[in-house]
Amino acid sequence: MSHKDRILIVDDENGICRFLSTVLSVNNYDVLVARTGTDAYMMVTSSMPDLVLLDLGLPDMDGIDILKTMREWTETPVIVVSARTHERDKVEALDAGADDYVMKPFSPSELLARIRTSIRRSGARNSNLKTFRSGICRIDELTIDYDKHAVLLSGKNIHLTRNEFKIIALLGKNAGKVLTHAHIMKEIWGAGLVGDNRILRVNMANIRRKLEEDPTEPKYIFTEIGVGYRLRETE
The CATH number of whichever domain residue 65 belongs to comes to: 3.40.50.2300
In this predicted structure, the answer to whether residue 54 has a pLDDT above a threshold of 70 is yes
User: Confidence band (pLDDT; 50, 70, 90) for 212?
Assistant: very high
Residues 189 and 104 in one domain: no
User: Confidence band (pLDDT; 50, 70, 90) for 117?
Assistant: confident
Query: Is 117 part of a structural domain of the chain?
Result: yes
Q: Is 45 helix (H, G, I), strand (E, B) or coil?
A: helix
Residues 79 and 163 in one domain: no
Q: What percent of the chain has pLDDT over 70?
A: 91
Residues 104 and 190 in one domain: no
In this predicted structure, the answer to whether residue 130 has a pLDDT above a threshold of 50 is no
Residues 27 and 112 in one domain: yes
Residues 163 and 217 in one domain: yes
Q: String of b and e for 179-211 (b: at least 16 CB within 10 Å)?
A: bbbbbbbeebbeeeeeeeeeebeebbeebbeeb
Range name among 49-58, 68-77, 92-101, 161-170 with the lowest pLDDT average: 68-77
Mean pLDDT value across residues 104-126: 83
Q: In the listed set 104, 127, 150, which residue is the last one of a domain according to the structure?
A: 127
- CA–CA separation, 205 and 96 (whole Å): 26
User: Residue 38: which H helix or E strand, with range?
Assistant: helix 37-47
Residue of higher predicted confidence among 128 and 212? 212
User: Confidence band (pLDDT; 50, 70, 90) for 162?
Assistant: confident
- CA–CA separation, 234 and 176 (whole Å): 7
The CATH number of whichever domain residue 162 belongs to comes to: 1.10.10.10
Residues 85 and 183 in one domain: no
Residues 174 and 119 in one domain: no
Residues 10 and 107 in one domain: yes
Residues 122 and 209 in one domain: no
Residues 94 and 14 in one domain: yes
Structural domain boundaries enclosing 11:
6-127
| Angle, CA 219 vertex, CA 213 and CA 223 arms, to 5° | 110
Total number of domains constituting the chain: 2
Query: Is 1 part of a structural domain of the chain?
Result: no
Contact criterion met (CB below 8 Å) for 43 and 53 = no
Contact criterion met (CB below 8 Å) for 120 and 94 = no
Structure confidence by residue, pLDDT tens digits, 66-82: 998 888 888 889 999 99
